[in-house]
Structure 1
Amino acid sequence: MLTRAQLSGKIAALALCAFVVLAAGDAYAVANFRVSQYDGGHQIWFEAEDFDERDANEVYKRGDAEGVLDPEDGAFGDIITNSGGDGWLLYNFDISKAGGSAGEWRFIGRIINPSNASDWLWVLGDDGDEVPEVKPAFVRPDHIIFENDSPVWTWRTDGDFGGDGGTVNELQKGENTMMIWTRGSNLTDQYDVFLWADDLLFAPTDDDYINAEEKNALDVQAEGKLTTTWADLRR
């Protein structure tokens, strides 16, 4: 049995570990996301403005937070738009948090795109083994997304006028990385929520997103590390 002094020391060590975990942050995933298992499948959702990285010129901007475009009524928080130019966004996400595994997944976006101003999608593993530093040589229809008219908020499941385009990709077990590169997007575009689903026929609704389970990457990481740490301290 632990003495009071030993127990106090272990509790202090645990508190220190908790502080270190929380201060370190999460290097592998968007900060906030949601998960669900509708219709027997697996889905992971995150808002477009919660990107991990963007190009140095910051071509893609948060509409409200950066004062370039007021989000259309009905947006879930802020939106992403292209302020003009050629750039990219990068997102890291972990499909295991939704209970999913490696295989084919579909990328879906809740967007407004009134003039069919599409972009390119690049996925680590499926499209290359290293995150590109320069714009890849994209090919239509293999990499095109959002090539369709969406004058009001639409969960856009197709990539090229009813065809898959670049929406269906082979995701890896656990952590994945995706990038959106400019093709034709501009200030008329609003990107609100992104979704990956392993049921390629999944047709999301606003209520599906609202009712999905909210997660925080930092909490998920901290929970796992603290469980391990506490088990170690008890020895």
Structure 2
Amino acid sequence: MAGDASRSGASVTSRALALLGAYDEDHRRLTLTELAGRAGLPLATAHRLVGELVEWGALARASDGRYVVGRRLWDIGLLAPLNAGLVEVASPYLHDLYGATLATVHLAVRDGAEVLYLDRLAGHASVPVVSTIGSRLPLHATGVGKVLLAHAPADVQAAVLSDLTRVTPYTVTQPGTLRRQLARTVREGWATTVEEMSLGACSVAVPIRRGPDVVAALGIVVPSLRNDRPRLVAALQVAAHGVGRAISGLPVTGTPA
């Protein structure tokens, strides 16, 4: 149960928030009955509020009749000062990287124990890329995710290392191996994956810093890193340095959990 908003005196706002709070990583598509149960609301109340949330755009009804989080919540989230400013100032650097490599380029931040993709430019090469703007993927299986995990607090690292799910046959699921990769990422300033998130796709990523803090990651997805990794790392680092300088004056809204 995600919460209990049925107690006496609960406001309309708290009940609506309870419905939104019913969603998590394992519950992305919910029926009305499931929403009511996880939010601790009577079915009739949930029905009325869900209708209003759909009309406003906070929820959307899928073709199978279940409800999913609406795009409007994502749009509002991007208005947070750091995220909004980050996407805006990073955009020309992403386009420069894309122009130089014709590869898929990612801008991402850490959201708890996942990597959240804020922006993406699709490359010309037919490389399987599973990320989309607004999607969340495992930190340990993506290049940008490894960069962000390497600079995450110890409790976040411990939580991720305790549950290394296998996405492909090449996903790193041995904690000791991943710890060594994270240490190398901190030491050398970049991280890579080789078919760890999707077969046929490799990635390389670097941190974006705001002063001493790593606030985001910049990555590229390509078919192979065998010959081009040094060139790609150099291009990413130049771009990341430019983004870091540009966001130095943005308001701070806190760091991800």
TM-score with structure 1 setting the length: 0.29
Higher relative contact order (CA 8 A, sep 6+): 1
Q: Give 1 or 2: higher strand fraction.
A: 1
Q: Give 1 or 2: higher helix fraction.
A: 2
